[in-house]
Every structure is written in C-alpha cells, then in structure tokens.
Amino acid sequence: MKLVDNKATLSFSNGSPSVDLPVYGGNIGPDVIDIRKLYAQTGMFTYDPGFLSTASCQSAITYIDGDKGELLYRGYPIEQLATHCDYLDTCFLLLNGELPNEQERTDFHKLVTNHTMVNEQMQFFLRGFRRDAHPMAVLTGLVGALSAFYHDSTDINNPEHRRIAAIRLIAKMPTLVAMSYKYGIGQPYMYPQNNLSYAGNFLRMMFGTPCEEYQVNPVLERALDRIFILHADHEQNASTSTVRLCGSSGTNPFAAIAAGVACLWGPAHGGANEACLNMLEDIQRNGGIAKVGEFMNQVKDKNSGVKLMGFGHRVYKNYDPRAKLMQETCNEVLQELGLENDPLFKLAKELEKIALEDEYFVSRKLYPNVDFYSGIVQRAIGIPVNLFTGIFALARTVGWIAQLNEMIGDPEYKIGRPRQLFTGSPRRDVPAAKK
C-alpha cells in the first residue's frame, strides 16, 4: 500500500486537539484512513460493528467491485476463470498469485491428487456422531481433528509447513465431505481414485459404491468444478475474517480452517444455499408460483423476519457475477439431466424476476447472490440439501488458506484484538454477606 497525497483531519467540537490521519491507497478500490494511532492520540476508539466501513487488512488476492458486480481473483475476472480454467488452476492462482504454466499445472494436480486420502483413524471420529448429524457439524469436527494427525505441518510460521498444510487441506476436504455424506446414509466410504479429476473424484466418493464401477458424467463433473471455482474466495467475508482472526493467534492452519467452516455454516453466510433451497421447497409446497406474491409480502413485512434467501449482499449492490454463472450452470445441468422443467428452477427465476422489478428490492439494491441458484444445481446433481454448505466449505478452503498465508506472511500482522464501547455497570462492590 502507498501513502496518497491526501490526509484526513479529525477535529472535535469540544476543543480537543484535532488529529491528522494518513490516507493510503491500493492499486484499485477505496483508499483507507490509517487509524492505528487514533487511540494513542485521542483516547477514543472507532465504532464499526459489522465492519461496514473497516478494512481489516491489505490483500492482493481477491477484489470485488460491488457497484459494478465485478469479482477478480488475482486480477482475473471470475467469468474468464470459470470458462477457461479448472478449480485446481484457480487454487494454484489464489495460493501463488499467478496461473500455473504447463509443468506447474501437472505438478500441482499430481501433488493434490496424491494427498486425497485421510488417515484411517479419521473414520472413527465419525462413529461418535448420530447418523442424522448435520454434515457441517461433522465437518467442523473432522477438519479440526486433522491437526491431530499432521504435527509436521502445524507451525503456521514455517512457510514449508504452510505449503504442505495447504495441499493437505485442499486435497482432503472432498474426501471428508464425502465421508460425512456416506456416514449419514449408512454407505461405506469410497477411497479416492487418483486417475480421476478433482471434481470427478468427489462425485465418485459421493455417489459411487463398492458394488459397481462409477461412471463420472462429464457435464456434472465440469459443473461441479465450476461451482468450486465460483466459491473459491471472496475477499474479507465473515468466514475468511474468522480464519484470519483465528490464525492471528498462531494456531495451526487446520484449527483456523475449522473455525472458518463453523462460521460459514450460518444462514446469513454460506448456510444461505441450504436455507434458499428450503425456502423454494416451502413456497412450492404451499402453492408454488401462484403463492409468490404472498411470500414476497411476508419478506417486505419487517415483522415477519422472513428474508428472500440467496438475495442481498454486504458488498454487491449489483448482480453477483457468480449468480449469473451459477444460473448458466444450472441450465446446463438441468438440460443434461432432462430436468429443464424443474419446478424449483422455474420458481427461482420467477422470484428473481419479481424481486428485480419490486421497489423494496430495487431501492435496497438487493440482487441474487452466489447462493440463490447454487442449491438448485447441487440438488439436480444429487447433493442433499444439508450438504450444500459442505460443498461451499470444500471450495472455499483454498481461499481461507490463501488469505491466512497472506496474513502470516505480512510482517506487519499482529494478533487481532478489537476493543469495545462499554455500556455495562461501572465498578461496584459485592454486598457484604448478611450476618
């Protein structure tokens, strides 16, 4: 970051001395006012719950222009990556800053492929869960448990450990997600197959059985790989900020990623795809498109607590570019499976049409986000609703790691420790014990 020819002067009406604050600029996007010395100079904190106006770090990984609806991974537009690259190319890009050349691509694919198995002991963790445990509860446990197996890559300050842990996590997440699914349906786990692609291997671990050869459907394989690309990283969202804050204590990468999995689970964040599909199924069950108007009235009634899941975004005040690509992928998969008339897809498109013409949504700049169509395409592929967020976590693991490694590699980083505006009781004494 570089000092720009501008400064912010904070003045106080109560006569306190004003404070000059430096302004820094990046390469694109908003400048920042450096307030690191504010408390020392004024004895006051800034106040920004939800971090609406706060940059927590400098980063060179992902850039979002919410007004334009633009998303760049290391400068490359998501539309181009989703069209010309695969997920492992995107992982290499996010981790290293550049797309791989042919040799790097071959080596990276081989490295990930050769780390897809998990320690045989991992399966015994699952046995402690009820069969109907939510996969995200299982995954949060399994990812954290990885730190118990890889003592040779838990020192977050060792670049070689960070590199190995990154490969292990990217490689093993599909295996762990598939295991949590198989455990839930009482089927045997499927071991990874090194001759399959990353997405193809995941499809086989999910839907294959030891009883017969599993044929990977190339359209579904490509669709799933694109879904992984679309979810790979997204700047300083809630789960990435969680991973950064967790990792800032120096804990091991597996524990920090487990914290990200736990945060992503929430319906306001990665859990929105599951909540969105359930919302669509509820509307469908209660009358479908004919009932959309009634549902939208509920959404617009503040007291209902009902939100149009899969809509709205803290940063995008225009169409989420991932939602457009997800809708295209939806079309491709439904065509391939002969489900063009999927009622939920038709319902979702009708909901989108109504919302984009409705003053409530237009005035609040609410557009479909990545979660609006992702559930429909995952459901068509055969992924159960309660596993949608697990797929999101699988895909976002590389983003979390890239952001964590960027933070640890930043000589300026410190343990994250926000302050507060205290509104509780001033000092008081415990009443003397009654005689």
List of residues contacting ligand SDX (CB under 6 A): 234, 237, 268-270, 272, 299, 307-315, 364, 366, 369-371
Query: CA 10 to CA 343: how far, in whole Å?
Result: 56
Residue pair 35/286 in contact (Cβ under 8 Å)? The answer is no
Instruction: Write down the residue that tokens 């091991």 correspond to.
Output: 252
Closer residue to ligand SDX (CB): 126 or 224: 224
Q: Which two three-digit tokens encode residue 426?
A: 């001033």
* Least CB distance to ligand SDX at residue 74 (A): 16
Catalytic residue among 134, 231, 234, 313: 313
Residue 134 among the catalytic residues: no
Per DSSP, helices labelled H in 53-158 are: 78-84, 87-96, 102-113, 122-126, 135-145
Q: Which two three-digit tokens encode residue 36?
A: 């690191």
Residue pair 96/103 in contact (Cβ under 8 Å)? The answer is no
C-beta nearest to ligand SDX: residue: 312
* Least CB distance to ligand SDX at residue 397 (A): 13
Those residues whose C-beta lies under 8 Å from the C-beta of residue 243, and which sit 6 or more positions away, are: 256, 257, 259, 260, 400, 403, 404
Closer residue to ligand SDX (CB): 370 or 408: 370
Per-position b or e across 294-318, b if 16+ CB within 10 A of its CB: ebbeebeeeeeeebbbbbbbebbbe
Query: CA 105 to CA 113: how far, in whole Å?
Result: 12
* Least CB distance to ligand SDX at residue 252 (A): 23
* Least CB distance to ligand SDX at residue 278 (A): 12
* Least CB distance to ligand SDX at residue 170 (A): 17
Closer residue to ligand SDX (CB): 170 or 190: 170
Instruction: Report CA-CA distances (Å) from 354 to 54, 284, 305.
Output: 33, 16, 20
Closer residue to ligand SDX (CB): 299 or 402: 299
Residue 151 among the catalytic residues: no
Closer residue to ligand SDX (CB): 47 or 422: 47
Please identify every residue annotated as catalytic.
313, 371
